[in-house]
């Protein structure tokens, strides 16, 4: 009787363990830190088969993440909630089991911060590709070959900094100023479109090529980041934007920086104006000189804009009082 009773207890324990393994209650899978750790068996079965990710899914993920980028911002997670908000429709197609879906949600709620277009666009596509590969491998019962959550998170963390640096320098440092320069004449004429059109064009352009980055990241996976950071095509685009930005800044300096001198002198009864002579040699020389001196100041002292404005104001005021400018 004792052996029969012992056998029944073992069978009951085994059944209980099996029932727990197949449970859809995430509370049964919480570790000591309160994080969900779902088992690979939860991905088996036709009902857990991942769906294919379409172009529409990628667009939906991009629109959601782009729109929510700065909305749920916090110091401990930064833009992780917005990133997850974008990925949610894709994760829901990949992980039909609620426990595995909750696990995926949790791993994308850890600290994450990057630039909104280049960084978030590429990493959204790359992450979707990695999650799809992981879900399909688990569903096929090849858990040992599946991409681990640690690799997915490490990929995000490793790329968020470099891509943010590239994106900030191009979007905030070049592209937006090109649009501002294009519509500055409208603002100078008093038109409100001079303020609205740069914002509209910048938002539209960054949204379009941001989605292109999402598709590139999904198509190429982790190789997409290498293509952006070291690829010849992207390098050519970046160099071209840099040259165009410098070109536009030169136009702005010549058109809107107004610096002239009233100094003149007489020679053999004829008056010679310094400004007229300079215009004959190099039109816009004084505005160019002012911009170059400001650049040299920034290069030596850093981008201290307020201090530079104060110094320039004092210098120009003194030169104006002594009739040099």
pLDDT tens sequence across 285-303: 778 788 888 888 888 887 7
C-beta separation of 143 from 40 below 8 A: yes
C-beta separation of 225 from 165 below 8 A: no
Query: Do 149 and 206 have their domain in common?
Result: no
With respect to residue 151, please indicate whether it lies within any of the assigned structural domains: yes
With respect to residue 6, please indicate whether it lies within any of the assigned structural domains: no
> Which of 143, 161, 179 is at the close of a domain?
161
With respect to residue 5, please indicate whether it lies within any of the assigned structural domains: no
> pLDDT tens digit string along 176-208?
888 888 888 888 888 889 889 999 999 999 999
Query: Do 177 and 142 have their domain in common?
Result: no
With respect to residue 9, please indicate whether it lies within any of the assigned structural domains: no
Give residue 176's pLDDT: 86
Query: Do 151 and 42 have their domain in common?
Result: yes
Query: Do 43 and 155 have their domain in common?
Result: yes
Is pLDDT of 19 > 50?
Answer: no
Distance CA 61, CA 131 (A): 14
- Name the residue among 221, 231, 215, 250 with its Cα closest to residue 166: 231
Query: Do 46 and 84 have their domain in common?
Result: yes
Is pLDDT of 249 > 80?
Answer: no
162 versus 128: the higher-pLDDT residue is 128
Query: Do 145 and 167 have their domain in common?
Result: no
Q: Three-state DSSP class for 54?
A: coil
Distance CA 128, CA 136 (A): 12
With respect to residue 107, please indicate whether it lies within any of the assigned structural domains: yes
180 versus 6: the higher-pLDDT residue is 180
- Name the residue among 158, 152, 69 with its Cα closest to residue 108: 152
Query: Do 132 and 173 have their domain in common?
Result: no
Largest CA distance in the chain: 133
> Which of 146, 161, 176 is at the close of a domain?
161
168 versus 224: the higher-pLDDT residue is 168
Give me the domain span that covers residue 281. 270-321
Cα-Cα-Cα-Cα torsion 199, 204, 206, 211, nearest 10 degrees, comes to: 160
Query: Do 26 and 95 have their domain in common?
Result: yes
Specify the long-range contacts of residues 202-206, CB closer than 8 Å, at least 24 apart: 202/175, 202/176, 205/175, 205/179, 206/116, 206/117, 206/171, 206/175
For the CA atoms of the chain, what is the radius of gyration? 30
With respect to residue 15, please indicate whether it lies within any of the assigned structural domains: no
> pLDDT tens digit string along 48-102?
899 999 999 999 999 999 999 888 888 888 999 999 999 999 999 999 999 999 9
Query: Do 77 and 179 have their domain in common?
Result: no
Give residue 237's pLDDT: 63
With respect to residue 309, please indicate whether it lies within any of the assigned structural domains: yes
Query: Do 174 and 121 have their domain in common?
Result: no
With respect to residue 94, please indicate whether it lies within any of the assigned structural domains: yes
Give residue 102's pLDDT: 92
Give residue 15's pLDDT: 42
Query: Do 230 and 109 have their domain in common?
Result: no
250 versus 18: the higher-pLDDT residue is 250
The number of distinct structural domains making up the chain is 3
Query: Do 84 and 113 have their domain in common?
Result: yes
Average pLDDT of the chain is 81
Would you state the structure tokens that stand for residue 95, as one six-digit string?
A: 């992980």
21 versus 108: the higher-pLDDT residue is 108
Is pLDDT of 263 > 80?
Answer: no
């Amino acid at each position: 009787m004792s052996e029969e009773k012992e056998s029944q207890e073992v069978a009951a324990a085994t059944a209980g363990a099996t029932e727990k393994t197949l449970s859809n209650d995430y509370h049964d899978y919480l570790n000591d830190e309160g994080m969900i750790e779902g088992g690979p068996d939860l991905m088996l079965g036709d009902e857990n088969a991942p769906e294919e990710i379409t172009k529409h899914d990628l667009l939906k993920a991009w629109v959601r993440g782009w729109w929510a980028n700065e909305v749920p911002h916090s110091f401990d997670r930064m833009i992780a909630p917005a990133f997850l908000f974008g990925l949610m429709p894709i994760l829901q197609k990949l992980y039909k089991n609620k426990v595995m879906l909750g696990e995926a949600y949790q791993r994308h709620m850890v600290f994450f911060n990057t630039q909104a277009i280049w960084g978030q666009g590429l990493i959204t596509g790359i992450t979707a590709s990695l999650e799809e590969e992981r879900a399909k491998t688990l569903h096929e019962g090849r858990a040992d070959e599946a991409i681990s959550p640690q690799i997915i998170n490490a990929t995000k963390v490793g790329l968020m900094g470099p891509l943010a640096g590239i994106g900030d320098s191009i979007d905030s440092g070049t592209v937006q100023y090109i649009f501002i320069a294009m519509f500055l004449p409208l603002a100078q004429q008093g038109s409100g479109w001079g303020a609205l059109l740069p914002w509209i064009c910048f938002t539209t352009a960054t949204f379009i090529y941001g989605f292109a980055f999402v598709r590139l990241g999904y198509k190429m996976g982790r190789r997409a980041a290498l293509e952006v950071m070291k690829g010849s095509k992207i390098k050519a685009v970046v160099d071209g934007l840099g040259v165009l930005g410098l070109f536009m800044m030169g136009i702005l300096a010549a058109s809107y920086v107004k610096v002239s001198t009233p100094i003149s002198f007489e020679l053999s009864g004829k008056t010679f104006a310094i400004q007229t002579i300079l215009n004959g040699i190099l039109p816009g020389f004084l505005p160019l000189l002012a911009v170059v001196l400001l650049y040299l100041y920034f290069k030596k002292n850093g981008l201290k804009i307020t201090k530079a404005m104060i110094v320039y104001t004092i210098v120009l005021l003194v030169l104006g009082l002594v009739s040099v400018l």
